[in-house]
């Protein structure tokens, strides 16, 4: 297929894309709507502080990734992944109905239970989403498939987050939130019905009911191939870095840029556009093959744009809060937005090859459990990043300085990974000239094509 977008019309990919997009959208719609309600209407629900409730909600959503990812990986290696996807989406409908009852009864306990269960549903679907791709796509299509999945995920997060905030602020918002979540859940289930069957690689697998033991076992499978484990570390670092940035956007918009909700939306939108552009550019530059040389390019961009964002940020917020139009006219704001776009674009170049490497070099019999190990480490890194950011900010570090520290740490992590797996830098060095030529000319001739022509007598 000449374009990754052609995959969206193929039954072996399109229904999976729709299903995962709506799932990510729904998770963020409900989570953000609940956080907004608990922040601005906390006295109607509980005596706990809004800040505590927001952190409790975030913790409850991510907890299932620690507890059940290993079990989800086992299930995805033992059973048909398409069937598991349908059952996970059916569970999502039940969870949304439970949350609707929580809104109706004004029960914080039911709503938090619903949030935990949505995290569980996402945990069950995670290994299916990535382990099924190599079964339905050819090797030449995997980069494009992963590019679309990553771009779609971030767009879904953005749209879901915005929808949740908007619905929470309207009259009768709880009813609209329930209706929106239910509509997305039902549509996601209908999409899952069209996902083609994916035969399990290990149908005779005996399920280990000890999640802690199975977690270590899944990580052990990932460690069997050093390049796979290092790819997982790189992916996990990216999620730490990205989650740290996204978590600071509200305070950065208010306290550094001097704007309000519209400014937060602008920052999220530009960053998401960058992720999508970088993911699709990765597919273009890869020429339908795994191109690990793009990972150092992405890492370099993540470091340089992060450092520049720290330096380009205004030293103090304006005395009068800026509306969106005034913000766009403010000195230096275009520089900040360019850095955010570059961060997102670099992230797309960094993450897509790593996911593709994970899929291609994982043993098929253990692939879903290796994806589960990746999800566990992703969650762990994000929690560690959130705690580290909280400690640094509490110690008096400014948000721009935090961005700079994260960018420098990104360089250190990248160099550590590339030292252990020098193929990344070797490939980057070998293809740097041809990639630069491709970007300047915009020609379809790719590094892969150049390599093939050089090999011909």
Q: Do 42 and 126 belong to one domain?
A: yes
Q: Do 293 and 324 belong to one domain?
A: yes
Q: Do 264 and 182 belong to one domain?
A: no
Query: What pLDDT score does 183 carry?
Result: 97
Lowest-confidence pick of 105-109, 172-176, 281-285, 318-322: 318-322
Q: Do 176 and 322 belong to one domain?
A: no
Is 446 part of a structural domain of the chain? Answer: no
116-135 residue pLDDT tens: 999 999 999 999 999 999 99
Let me know: does 115 contact 30? Beta carbons within 8 Å: yes
Q: Do 172 and 224 belong to one domain?
A: no
Let me know: does 24 contact 85? Beta carbons within 8 Å: no
Helices 226-251 and 333-361 cross at an angle (nearest 10°) of 150
Lowest-confidence pick of 126-130, 241-245, 419-423, 426-430: 426-430
pLDDT bin (cut points 50, 70, 90) of residue 378 is: very high
Q: Do 100 and 241 belong to one domain?
A: no
pLDDT bin (cut points 50, 70, 90) of residue 54 is: confident
Query: What pLDDT score does 453 carry?
Result: 41
Q: Do 183 and 284 belong to one domain?
A: no
Is 55 part of a structural domain of the chain? Answer: yes
Q: Do 279 and 190 belong to one domain?
A: no
Is 455 part of a structural domain of the chain? Answer: no
pTM of structure: 0.87
Let me know: does 64 contact 122? Beta carbons within 8 Å: yes
Helices 81-105 and 108-131 cross at an angle (nearest 10°) of 160
From CA 145, how far away is CA 157, in angstroms rounded?
A: 18
Model confidence at 59: pLDDT above 50: yes
Give, in order, the Cα–Cα distances in Å from 442 to each of 363, 388, 452.
37, 42, 19
From CA 96, how far away is CA 276, in angstroms rounded?
A: 29
Q: Do 184 and 248 belong to one domain?
A: no
Count of the separate structural domains present in the chain: 2
Is 211 part of a structural domain of the chain? Answer: no
Query: What pLDDT score does 215 carry?
Result: 94
From CA 251, how far away is CA 29, in angstroms rounded?
A: 20
Query: What pLDDT score does 449 carry?
Result: 47
Q: Do 325 and 248 belong to one domain?
A: yes
Cβ count within 10 A of residue 391? 10
From CA 251, how far away is CA 399, in angstroms rounded?
A: 8
Buried b (16+ CB within 10 A) or exposed e, 343-382: bbbbbbbbbbbbbbbbbbebeeebbbbbbbbbbbbbbbbb
Let me know: does 114 contact 99? Beta carbons within 8 Å: yes
Is 162 part of a structural domain of the chain? Answer: yes
Query: In CATH, what number is assigned to the domain containing residue 417?
Result: 1.20.1250.20
The H or E element spanning position 355 is helix 333-361
Q: What is the mean pLDDT of residues 283-287?
A: 84
Q: Do 18 and 57 belong to one domain?
A: yes
DSSP code, position 205:
P
Model confidence at 179: pLDDT above 90: yes
Q: What percent of the chain has pLDDT over 70?
A: 92
Tell me the residue range of the domain where 244 lies: 217-440
Is 448 part of a structural domain of the chain? Answer: no
Query: What pLDDT score does 450 carry?
Result: 46
Q: Do 97 and 241 belong to one domain?
A: no
């Amino acid at each position: 297929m000449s374009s990754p977008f052609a995959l969206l019309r193929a039954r072996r990919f399109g229904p999976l894309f729709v299903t995962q997009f709506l799932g990510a959208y729904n998770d963020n719609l409900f989570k953000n709507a609940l956080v907004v309600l608990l922040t601005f209407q906390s006295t109607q629900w509980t005596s706990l502080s809004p800040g505590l409730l927001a952190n409790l909600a975030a913790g409850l959503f991510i907890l299932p990734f620690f507890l059940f990812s290993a079990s989800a990986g086992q299930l995805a290696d033992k059973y048909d992944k398409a069937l598991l996807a349908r059952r996970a989406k059916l569970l999502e409908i039940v969870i949304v109905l439970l949350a609707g009852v929580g809104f109706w009864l004004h029960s914080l306990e039911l709503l938090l239970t619903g949030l935990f269960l949505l995290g569980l549903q996402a945990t069950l679907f995670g290994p299916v989403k990535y382990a099924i791709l190599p079964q339905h796509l050819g090797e030449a299509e995997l980069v494009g498939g992963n590019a679309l999945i990553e771009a779609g995920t971030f767009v879904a997060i953005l749209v879901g987050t915005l929808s949740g905030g908007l619905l929470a602020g309207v009259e009768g918002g709880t009813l609209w939130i329930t209706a929106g979540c239910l509509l997305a859940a039902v549509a996601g289930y209908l999409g899952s019905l069209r996902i083609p069957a994916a035969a399990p690689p290990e149908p005779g697998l005996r399920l280990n009911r000890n999640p802690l033991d199975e977690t270590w076992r899944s990580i052990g499978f990932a460690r069997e191939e050093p390049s796979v484990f290092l790819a997982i570390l790189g992916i996990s670092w990216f999620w730490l870095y990205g989650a740290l940035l996204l978590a600071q956007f509200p305070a950065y918009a208010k306290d550094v840029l001097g704007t309000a909700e519209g400014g937060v939306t602008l920052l999220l939108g530009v960053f998401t556009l960058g992720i999508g552009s970088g993911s699709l550019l990765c597919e273009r530059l890869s020429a339908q093959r795994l191109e690990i040389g793009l990972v150092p390019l992405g890492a370099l961009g993540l470091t340089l744009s992060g450092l520049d964002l720290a330096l380009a940020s205004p030293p103090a917020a304006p005395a009068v809060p800026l509306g969106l139009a005034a913000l766009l006219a403010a000195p230096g704001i275009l520089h900040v937005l360019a850095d955010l776009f570059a961060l997102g674009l670099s992230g797309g170049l960094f993450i897509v090859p790593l996911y593709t490497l994970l899929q291609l070099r994982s043993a098929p019999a253990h692939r879903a459990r290796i994806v589960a190990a990746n999800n566990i480490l992703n969650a762990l890194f994000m929690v560690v990043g959130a705690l580290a950011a909280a400690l640094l900010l509490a110690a008096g570090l400014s948000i721009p300085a935090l961005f700079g520290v994260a960018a420098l740490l990104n360089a250190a992590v990248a160099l550590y990974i590339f030292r252990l797996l020098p193929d990344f830098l070797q490939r980057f060095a070998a293809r740097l000239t041809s990639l630069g030529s491709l970007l300047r000319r915009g020609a379809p001739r790719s590094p892969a094509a150049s390599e093939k022509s050089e090999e011909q007598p």
